[in-house]
Amino acid sequence: MSIETDIKQKKFRSPYQRLALNLVYTTNWLEYKQLEIFKDYDITSQQYNVLRILRGQKSVPIKVSEITERMLDKNSNTSRLVDKLLAKNLAERKSCPNDRRAVDVVITKEGLELLEKLDPFVEEWENRFNIISPEDAERISALLDKLRESDNQ
């Protein structure tokens, strides 16, 4: 379906307005589809993002501040997200040998097992992009990078 059909708007002020609204609408649509995967496992997409970051560390502890830098959602309260993962026994705190004030976090066995369960569902979710050629996917990504770079000019 077109953005015009989905939001029941026949005309846009400009192609840029159509693009902006289409990006927002599509982002929300993708987030909703992803949320459907996670709700059965009682985690949010932000918690999933933290778990992915922790798994990528290969059991090497990481500071909460470093997790924050790597988050997809920069508005996330990473400390709160980590606390929720700790309460679910999906992550654990480790004392930081270099800085007693800092807290290192590492994924637990349970966290790794949860990600293993989720991997096939996430892969299926990602496969919805297969309707776009790899070349078009690269081009869209480059255009999105270019759009974000315009903020730094």
pLDDT single digits (tens) 95-141 = 767 776 777 999 999 999 999 999 999 999 999 899 999 999 999 99
Q: Are residues 62 and 129 in the same domain?
A: yes
pLDDT of residue 95: 75
24-28, 74-78, 107-111, range with the lowest pLDDT: 74-78
Q: Are residues 49 and 81 in the same domain?
A: yes
Cβ atoms of 11 and 2 within 8 Å: the answer is: no
Q: Are residues 29 and 17 in the same domain?
A: yes
Cβ atoms of 75 and 45 within 8 Å: the answer is: no
Q: Are residues 35 and 50 in the same domain?
A: no
pLDDT of residue 103: 75
The one-letter code for the residue type at 153 is Q
pLDDT of residue 151: 76
Q: Are residues 28 and 53 in the same domain?
A: no
- The conformation of residue 4, written as its DSSP 8-state character, comes to H
- Span 56-78, mean pLDDT? 92
Q: Are residues 136 and 97 in the same domain?
A: yes
Q: Are residues 54 and 123 in the same domain?
A: yes
Q: How many domains does the chain have?
A: 2
Q: Are residues 6 and 47 in the same domain?
A: no
Phi-psi region of 58 (alpha: psi -120 to 50; beta: other; left: phi over 0): left
**Domain extent at residue 27:** 1-39
Q: Are residues 19 and 69 in the same domain?
A: no
Q: Are residues 15 and 48 in the same domain?
A: no
How much is the mean pLDDT over the chain?
92
Give the integer Cα–Cα distance in Å for 133 and 78: 35
